[in-house]
Structure 1
Amino acid sequence: MEKKDETVTNARVVEARARNISNKVRCTECGGQSIEDSQADIAILLRQLIRDEIHSGKSDKDIFDKLRNDYGETVLYEPTFDRQTAIIWLSPVLVAGAAAGIWAYQKHRQRTNVHIMALNLVRGVPLTPKEKQTMLEILTPPSPKGGRRWLGL
Protein backbone atom coordinates (compact mmCIF):
# COMPACT_ATOMS: atom_id res chain seq x y z
CA MET A 1 0.00 0.00 0.00
CA GLU A 2 2.84 2.34 0.89
CA LYS A 3 4.57 1.65 -2.43
CA LYS A 4 1.38 2.54 -4.31
CA ASP A 5 1.09 5.86 -2.43
CA GLU A 6 4.70 6.65 -3.27
CA THR A 7 4.11 5.84 -6.94
CA VAL A 8 1.04 8.08 -7.04
CA THR A 9 2.96 10.90 -5.34
CA ASN A 10 5.87 10.55 -7.78
CA ALA A 11 3.45 10.59 -10.72
CA ARG A 12 1.86 13.80 -9.39
CA VAL A 13 5.26 15.42 -8.95
CA VAL A 14 6.28 14.48 -12.49
CA GLU A 15 2.98 15.78 -13.86
CA ALA A 16 3.26 19.06 -11.93
CA ARG A 17 6.84 19.62 -13.13
CA ALA A 18 5.87 18.75 -16.70
CA ARG A 19 2.94 21.20 -16.66
CA ASN A 20 5.09 23.91 -15.10
CA ILE A 21 7.74 23.53 -17.80
CA SER A 22 5.14 23.20 -20.59
CA ASN A 23 3.53 26.51 -19.57
CA LYS A 24 6.89 28.26 -20.05
CA VAL A 25 7.52 26.87 -23.54
CA ARG A 26 6.05 28.48 -26.66
CA CYS A 27 4.50 26.27 -29.33
CA THR A 28 6.66 26.61 -32.43
CA GLU A 29 3.67 26.06 -34.70
CA CYS A 30 1.07 28.22 -32.93
CA GLY A 31 3.41 30.96 -31.71
CA GLY A 32 1.02 32.57 -29.25
CA GLN A 33 0.22 29.51 -27.15
CA SER A 34 2.23 27.51 -24.71
CA ILE A 35 2.70 23.85 -25.54
CA GLU A 36 0.50 23.08 -22.54
CA ASP A 37 -2.47 24.83 -24.19
CA SER A 38 -1.76 23.87 -27.80
CA GLN A 39 -3.06 20.78 -29.56
CA ALA A 40 -0.59 20.98 -32.45
CA ASP A 41 1.42 17.84 -33.19
CA ILE A 42 4.71 19.51 -32.24
CA ALA A 43 3.25 20.60 -28.89
CA ILE A 44 2.13 17.08 -28.10
CA LEU A 45 5.60 15.76 -28.99
CA LEU A 46 7.31 18.42 -26.87
CA ARG A 47 5.08 17.64 -23.88
CA GLN A 48 6.03 13.96 -24.22
CA LEU A 49 9.71 14.89 -24.58
CA ILE A 50 9.53 16.92 -21.36
CA ARG A 51 7.92 14.02 -19.47
CA ASP A 52 10.55 11.61 -20.82
CA GLU A 53 13.34 13.97 -19.74
CA ILE A 54 11.82 14.25 -16.25
CA HIS A 55 11.56 10.45 -15.98
CA SER A 56 15.21 10.16 -16.98
CA GLY A 57 16.18 12.36 -14.02
CA LYS A 58 16.95 15.64 -15.79
CA SER A 59 16.53 18.92 -13.91
CA ASP A 60 14.25 21.71 -15.13
CA LYS A 61 17.31 23.75 -16.14
CA ASP A 62 18.65 20.85 -18.21
CA ILE A 63 15.30 20.49 -19.97
CA PHE A 64 15.12 24.23 -20.73
CA ASP A 65 18.70 24.14 -22.02
CA LYS A 66 17.88 21.20 -24.30
CA LEU A 67 14.79 22.96 -25.67
CA ARG A 68 16.76 26.19 -26.19
CA ASN A 69 19.55 24.34 -27.99
CA ASP A 70 17.15 22.34 -30.19
CA TYR A 71 14.58 25.05 -31.03
CA GLY A 72 16.31 28.37 -30.32
CA GLU A 73 15.85 31.09 -27.70
CA THR A 74 12.38 32.07 -28.96
CA VAL A 75 10.85 28.78 -27.85
CA LEU A 76 11.00 29.98 -24.22
CA TYR A 77 8.66 32.62 -22.85
CA GLU A 78 11.39 33.71 -20.42
CA PRO A 79 14.61 34.15 -22.39
CA THR A 80 17.92 34.27 -20.56
CA PHE A 81 19.12 37.70 -19.47
CA ASP A 82 22.31 38.38 -21.39
CA ARG A 83 23.90 41.33 -23.15
CA GLN A 84 21.52 41.22 -26.12
CA THR A 85 18.33 41.10 -24.05
CA ALA A 86 19.71 43.77 -21.70
CA ILE A 87 20.21 46.10 -24.66
CA ILE A 88 16.72 45.37 -25.94
CA TRP A 89 15.10 46.01 -22.55
CA LEU A 90 17.20 49.02 -21.55
CA SER A 91 17.27 50.88 -24.88
CA PRO A 92 13.85 52.57 -24.41
CA VAL A 93 14.95 53.81 -20.99
CA LEU A 94 18.22 55.15 -22.40
CA VAL A 95 16.48 56.86 -25.32
CA ALA A 96 13.87 58.42 -23.02
CA GLY A 97 16.60 59.61 -20.63
CA ALA A 98 18.59 61.15 -23.46
CA ALA A 99 15.49 62.87 -24.84
CA ALA A 100 14.62 64.25 -21.39
CA GLY A 101 18.18 65.50 -20.93
CA ILE A 102 18.20 67.23 -24.33
CA TRP A 103 14.79 68.79 -23.65
CA ALA A 104 15.89 70.06 -20.21
CA TYR A 105 19.13 71.47 -21.63
CA GLN A 106 17.27 73.30 -24.40
CA LYS A 107 14.73 74.74 -21.94
CA HIS A 108 17.55 75.93 -19.69
CA ARG A 109 19.48 77.37 -22.63
CA GLN A 110 16.37 79.10 -24.03
CA ARG A 111 15.57 80.67 -20.68
CA THR A 112 19.18 81.81 -20.22
CA ASN A 113 19.46 83.15 -23.78
CA VAL A 114 16.36 85.34 -23.37
CA HIS A 115 17.84 86.99 -20.29
CA ILE A 116 21.26 87.46 -21.90
CA MET A 117 19.72 89.04 -25.00
CA ALA A 118 17.59 91.37 -22.90
CA LEU A 119 20.58 92.39 -20.77
CA ASN A 120 22.63 93.10 -23.91
CA LEU A 121 19.83 95.29 -25.28
CA VAL A 122 19.65 97.27 -22.04
CA ARG A 123 23.41 97.74 -21.95
CA GLY A 124 23.35 99.46 -25.37
CA VAL A 125 20.52 101.86 -24.50
CA PRO A 126 21.39 105.20 -22.87
CA LEU A 127 19.61 105.06 -19.52
CA THR A 128 20.06 106.80 -16.23
CA PRO A 129 21.85 104.79 -13.56
CA LYS A 130 18.57 104.25 -11.68
CA GLU A 131 16.77 103.04 -14.84
CA LYS A 132 19.71 100.78 -15.66
CA GLN A 133 19.66 99.28 -12.16
CA THR A 134 15.90 98.72 -12.33
CA MET A 135 16.15 97.05 -15.75
CA LEU A 136 19.02 94.84 -14.58
CA GLU A 137 16.98 93.74 -11.54
CA ILE A 138 13.98 92.95 -13.73
CA LEU A 139 15.96 91.13 -16.42
CA THR A 140 18.37 89.18 -14.23
CA PRO A 141 17.22 85.54 -14.13
CA PRO A 142 15.80 84.54 -10.76
CA SER A 143 17.89 82.16 -8.72
CA PRO A 144 16.15 78.88 -7.90
CA LYS A 145 14.54 78.98 -4.49
CA GLY A 146 14.98 76.09 -2.11
CA GLY A 147 18.18 74.79 -3.65
CA ARG A 148 18.37 73.03 -6.98
CA ARG A 149 15.19 72.50 -8.89
CA TRP A 150 14.53 69.35 -10.86
CA LEU A 151 16.20 69.47 -14.29
CA GLY A 152 16.94 73.17 -13.85
CA LEU A 153 13.34 74.19 -14.65
Structure 2
Amino acid sequence: MAEFSNLMLRARESADKSLRELSSIVGVSAGQLSNYERGVSVPKREVVIAIADALDIPTDFALMVAGYAPVYYNAADQEAAQVAEEHSNYFTRISSYEDIVNSIDDLVGSVQFREIQAAVLNAKVLQPRLSAEKVATFTKLEIAIKLFKEAQSEL
Protein backbone atom coordinates (compact mmCIF):
# COMPACT_ATOMS: atom_id res chain seq x y z
CA MET A 1 0.00 0.00 0.00
CA ALA A 2 1.60 3.21 -1.21
CA GLU A 3 0.40 5.30 1.73
CA PHE A 4 2.09 3.03 4.27
CA SER A 5 5.29 2.96 2.23
CA ASN A 6 5.41 6.77 2.25
CA LEU A 7 4.62 6.94 5.96
CA MET A 8 7.29 4.37 6.79
CA LEU A 9 9.96 6.05 4.67
CA ARG A 10 9.25 9.52 6.08
CA ALA A 11 9.14 8.27 9.66
CA ARG A 12 12.35 6.27 9.25
CA GLU A 13 14.18 9.23 7.72
CA SER A 14 12.78 11.53 10.41
CA ALA A 15 14.06 9.11 13.08
CA ASP A 16 17.42 9.04 11.27
CA LYS A 17 17.48 5.25 11.15
CA SER A 18 18.94 3.13 8.37
CA LEU A 19 17.10 0.12 6.99
CA ARG A 20 19.64 -2.09 8.77
CA GLU A 21 19.04 -0.37 12.10
CA LEU A 22 15.29 -0.70 11.69
CA SER A 23 15.76 -4.31 10.62
CA SER A 24 17.53 -5.18 13.84
CA ILE A 25 14.78 -3.53 15.88
CA VAL A 26 11.75 -5.10 14.19
CA GLY A 27 13.27 -8.45 13.22
CA VAL A 28 12.62 -8.17 9.49
CA SER A 29 15.36 -8.16 6.85
CA ALA A 30 16.50 -4.82 5.46
CA GLY A 31 15.58 -6.08 1.99
CA GLN A 32 12.02 -6.78 3.05
CA LEU A 33 11.79 -3.38 4.74
CA SER A 34 12.97 -1.83 1.50
CA ASN A 35 10.14 -3.66 -0.30
CA TYR A 36 7.66 -2.14 2.15
CA GLU A 37 9.07 1.36 1.61
CA ARG A 38 8.94 0.98 -2.17
CA GLY A 39 5.36 -0.29 -2.02
CA VAL A 40 6.35 -3.65 -3.51
CA SER A 41 4.69 -5.51 -0.64
CA VAL A 42 2.59 -4.77 2.43
CA PRO A 43 3.78 -5.94 5.84
CA LYS A 44 1.70 -8.26 7.99
CA ARG A 45 -0.28 -6.66 10.77
CA GLU A 46 2.23 -7.60 13.49
CA VAL A 47 5.08 -6.17 11.41
CA VAL A 48 3.18 -2.90 10.95
CA ILE A 49 2.82 -2.70 14.74
CA ALA A 50 6.54 -3.40 15.24
CA ILE A 51 7.52 -0.77 12.66
CA ALA A 52 5.12 1.76 14.23
CA ASP A 53 6.60 1.13 17.67
CA ALA A 54 10.17 1.41 16.39
CA LEU A 55 9.50 4.65 14.53
CA ASP A 56 7.17 6.27 17.11
CA ILE A 57 4.18 6.22 14.75
CA PRO A 58 0.80 5.94 16.50
CA THR A 59 -0.13 2.26 16.17
CA ASP A 60 -3.75 2.75 15.15
CA PHE A 61 -2.75 5.27 12.50
CA ALA A 62 -0.08 2.96 11.02
CA LEU A 63 -2.53 0.06 10.95
CA MET A 64 -5.22 2.10 9.19
CA VAL A 65 -2.76 3.45 6.64
CA ALA A 66 -1.58 -0.11 5.94
CA GLY A 67 -5.17 -1.25 5.44
CA TYR A 68 -5.72 -3.02 8.76
CA ALA A 69 -8.32 -2.42 11.45
CA PRO A 70 -6.95 -0.30 14.30
CA VAL A 71 -6.41 -1.60 17.83
CA TYR A 72 -8.79 0.87 19.49
CA TYR A 73 -8.66 1.05 23.23
CA ASN A 74 -5.79 -1.35 23.78
CA ALA A 75 -4.93 -1.08 27.46
CA ALA A 76 -1.25 -0.75 26.55
CA ASP A 77 -1.99 2.33 24.45
CA GLN A 78 -2.22 5.13 27.01
CA GLU A 79 -3.47 7.67 24.50
CA ALA A 80 -6.32 5.43 23.34
CA ALA A 81 -7.19 4.54 26.94
CA GLN A 82 -7.35 8.24 27.84
CA VAL A 83 -9.56 9.00 24.82
CA ALA A 84 -11.82 6.05 25.73
CA GLU A 85 -12.14 7.31 29.29
CA GLU A 86 -12.93 10.87 28.16
CA HIS A 87 -15.59 9.65 25.73
CA SER A 88 -17.02 7.29 28.33
CA ASN A 89 -17.41 10.18 30.78
CA TYR A 90 -18.98 12.35 28.09
CA PHE A 91 -21.51 9.78 26.92
CA THR A 92 -22.60 8.88 30.46
CA ARG A 93 -23.69 12.51 30.86
CA ILE A 94 -25.96 12.33 27.82
CA SER A 95 -29.37 11.17 29.02
CA SER A 96 -31.39 10.62 25.86
CA TYR A 97 -31.31 10.15 22.11
CA GLU A 98 -32.36 13.76 21.60
CA ASP A 99 -29.42 14.92 23.71
CA ILE A 100 -27.05 12.94 21.48
CA VAL A 101 -28.57 14.38 18.29
CA ASN A 102 -28.47 17.92 19.67
CA SER A 103 -24.90 17.52 20.93
CA ILE A 104 -23.65 16.29 17.57
CA ASP A 105 -25.56 19.02 15.72
CA ASP A 106 -24.07 21.63 18.06
CA LEU A 107 -20.58 20.22 17.63
CA VAL A 108 -20.67 19.96 13.82
CA GLY A 109 -22.22 23.44 13.55
CA SER A 110 -19.74 25.10 15.90
CA VAL A 111 -17.10 27.63 14.94
CA GLN A 112 -14.42 25.45 16.56
CA PHE A 113 -15.42 22.48 14.39
CA ARG A 114 -15.11 24.60 11.23
CA GLU A 115 -11.74 25.91 12.44
CA ILE A 116 -10.49 22.35 12.95
CA GLN A 117 -11.72 21.43 9.46
CA ALA A 118 -9.82 24.38 8.00
CA ALA A 119 -6.67 23.45 9.92
CA VAL A 120 -6.87 19.88 8.62
CA LEU A 121 -7.28 21.11 5.05
CA ASN A 122 -4.30 23.44 5.45
CA ALA A 123 -2.24 20.60 6.93
CA LYS A 124 -2.92 18.49 3.83
CA VAL A 125 -1.31 21.22 1.74
CA LEU A 126 1.71 21.32 4.08
CA GLN A 127 1.85 17.52 4.49
CA PRO A 128 5.24 16.93 2.81
CA ARG A 129 6.84 19.32 5.32
CA LEU A 130 5.19 17.88 8.43
CA SER A 131 6.61 15.17 10.67
CA ALA A 132 5.04 11.71 10.56
CA GLU A 133 3.58 12.34 14.03
CA LYS A 134 1.84 15.54 12.92
CA VAL A 135 0.54 13.84 9.77
CA ALA A 136 -0.85 11.08 12.00
CA THR A 137 -2.57 13.63 14.24
CA PHE A 138 -4.14 15.48 11.33
CA THR A 139 -5.27 12.21 9.77
CA LYS A 140 -6.97 11.25 13.04
CA LEU A 141 -8.71 14.64 13.05
CA GLU A 142 -9.81 14.15 9.45
CA ILE A 143 -11.26 10.73 10.31
CA ALA A 144 -13.03 12.16 13.37
CA ILE A 145 -14.54 14.97 11.30
CA LYS A 146 -15.87 12.46 8.75
CA LEU A 147 -17.27 10.24 11.51
CA PHE A 148 -19.07 13.12 13.22
CA LYS A 149 -20.58 14.28 9.91
CA GLU A 150 -21.71 10.74 9.10
CA ALA A 151 -23.21 10.36 12.58
CA GLN A 152 -25.04 13.66 12.17
CA SER A 153 -26.55 12.60 8.85
CA GLU A 154 -27.53 9.16 10.20
CA LEU A 155 -29.23 10.39 13.38
Structure with bigger RCO (C-alpha 8 Å, 6+ apart):
2
Q: Which TM bucket (shorter chain)?
A: under 0.3
Q: Between Structure 1 and Structure 2, whose CA radius of gyration is higher?
A: 1
Which structure carries more helix by proportion? 2
Normalising by the residue count of structure 2, what TM-score does the alignment of the two structures yield?
0.28
